[in-house]
Amino acid sequence: MTIDTTSYKIPVARSVADLRATVAEWRKAGLTIGLVPTMGALHEGHLSLVDLVKCKCDRAVVSIFVNPTQFAPHEDLDAYPRTEAADAAKLIGRGDLIFAPTPDEMYPQGFSTTVSVAGVSGPLEGEMRPTHFAGVATIVSKLILQTLPDIAVFGEKDWQQLQVIKRIVADLNIPVEILGGPILRESDGLAMSSRNVYLSESERKAAGSLNIIVRETAAKVAAGAIIPEATREGIDRIRALGFDHVDYLEVRDAGSLAFFPTGHATAPARILVAAKIGRTRLIDNMPV
């Protein structure tokens, strides 16, 4: 086993074999294991997921891997922040093992399998980023099967992703509990994101009001407003903040992400938004 214990003050596995060997030792000792998949550039939102795992399990594995298959050719794969040393420092005393494989380790020559999820992956992000969820579903399936954790935790900020992963686990009978970690927000309510560093000062100020509009739109729908009318008004308000484009502001069934055909929320609902300001695309969601 070649776990790296010298570069950082937390062990790092670079290969699936080393990850599995460490997990096997923990299992032999009767310990429970949790997994937090990330793409790195860790902030307090990510760290809250690690803390949640450690409340539930004896050991926490944090994967750091910028997954190329969930980025379209025109998206920001090359520009996505890679801060492994800083991430490792933040995990000291919180995580127990970093799994930081190379792209070749995760997608070796001849790799030809893709996991796709119908239904819940179709609308919203599925329409805006048609190849995205196949990449997410494939890499998450691999990480879960490589680690075989008792629990895996994903942030609720990526609400649709969370529902896709729950569908995978249910449909494929994968023996892992999937938990959602609450969205952590900045002092003005902006959802924490690794991409927030791209915002200019003026863009950051406008972005801080996005969550207010989403929350007020959700309140209107909860009070009986017709969904298309409330969301149309919300979109106009977001554009007035200076956002260049609103991909969607929609109220959907919280689990299936289906439309409410009557125009009113008749089941547990979620309001979801994606909007771009400058070069930064922000997403957020809240219960209705």
35 and 159 belong to one structural domain:
yes
CATH number for the domain spanning 129: value is 3.40.50.620
Domain boundary among 143, 159, 181: 181
On whether residue 187 sits in a domain, the answer given is no
- Whether 245 is catalytic: no
Residue 74 lies in a domain: yes
Question: Does a structural domain hold residue 160?
Answer: yes
Cβ partners under 8 Å of residue 243, min gap 6? 206, 210, 275, 276, 277
Q: Which of 46, 74, 132, 264 is catalytic?
A: 46
In this predicted structure, what is the pLDDT of residue 2?
67
Last residue of a domain, which of 181, 203, 232? Answer: 181
Quick one: 29 and 161 in the same domain?
Answer: yes
Check residue 4 and give its pLDDT.
72
pLDDT in tens, 101-129: 999 999 999 999 999 999 999 999 999 99
**Shortest CA distance to 19 belongs to which of 106, 84, 85, 104?**
106
pLDDT surpasses 80 at 5? no
- Do 219 and 248 lie in one domain? The reply is yes
Question: Does residue 128 lie within any of the structural domains?
Answer: yes
149 and 222 share a domain?
Answer: no
pLDDT at res. 41 = 94
Cβ count near 116 (within 10 Å): 11
26 and 131 share one domain: yes
- Domain range for 32 is 12-181
171 shares a domain with 45: yes
In the sheet that holds 33-38, the strands lie side by side as: 12-13, 97-99, 59-64, 33-38, 151-155, 177-181
Q: Specify whether 175 is located in the same domain as 65.
A: yes
CATH code of the domain in which 263 resides? 3.30.1300.10
Whether residues 97 and 233 fall in one domain: no
Domain assignment present for 34: yes
Q: How confident is the model at residue 205 (pLDDT cuts 50, 70, 90)?
A: very high
The whole-chain average pLDDT of the chain stands at 96
Say yes or no: 166 and 234 in one domain: no
Residue 230 lies in a domain: yes
Verify that 122 and 218 share a domain, yes or no: no
Alpha carbons 174 and 47: distance in angstroms, whole number: 25
Cα–Cα distance, 95 to 99 (Å, whole number): 11
pLDDT at 74 (0 to 100):
85
Q: Is the pLDDT of residue 87 over 90?
A: yes
**Number of structural domains the chain divides into:** 2
**Domain boundary residue among 181, 208, 231?**
181
